[in-house]
Structure 1
Amino acid sequence: MSECETDRDHVVYVLECADGSLYTGYTTDLERRVGEHNAGEGAKYTRGRTPVEVVHSEGYDSRSAAMSREYEIKQFSRARKVRLVEGE
């Protein structure tokens, strides 16, 4: 897993789903949010792809900075997301 910076209030995360796909999201409570995903109460995308596992997270001081980064990561190709997860 990539370095986690979850000591900040706003977290952007990448999950690896059971089918090997990657999902990117935003939260203020990573542990709670992952629990929601795994319980089928998270994003529609992850509902049929549980269990999920956090493979990357980044902490931010502001919601706007985190949301901008989430959007940026969502625009990445799968190959670029894999490089991010691998720490490159």
Structure 2
Amino acid sequence: MNMLKAFRVVGYSEGVSFLLLLGIAMPLKYMLDYPMAVTVVGAIHGGLFVLYCMMVVYLKFNQNWSITKAALGILASVLPFGPFVFDAKAVRSQ
């Protein structure tokens, strides 16, 4: 599997984990007093977030991404649905 395909897999995983954290784990914590959900999903999301950001930096140099494209990739990692939009607009067009 090449790095771009691996990045797409990590991007989708990071995006899904973020949505699970925001949409399921946090409501479980604050509405049903079940903080373990955030602990588990948050840890998984945190690892995927770091991996995603590291891959953006790697691809910036390895695939000669512009600084703008790399910055948009990092920005996408902190926005709900961001990795999906970044993949559709910037990665697939490459």
Q: TM-score, normalised by structure 2?
A: 0.28
Larger strand share, 1 or 2: 1
Larger helix share, 1 or 2: 2
Q: Which has the higher contact order (CA 8 A, sep 6+)?
A: 1
Larger Cα-atom Rg:
2
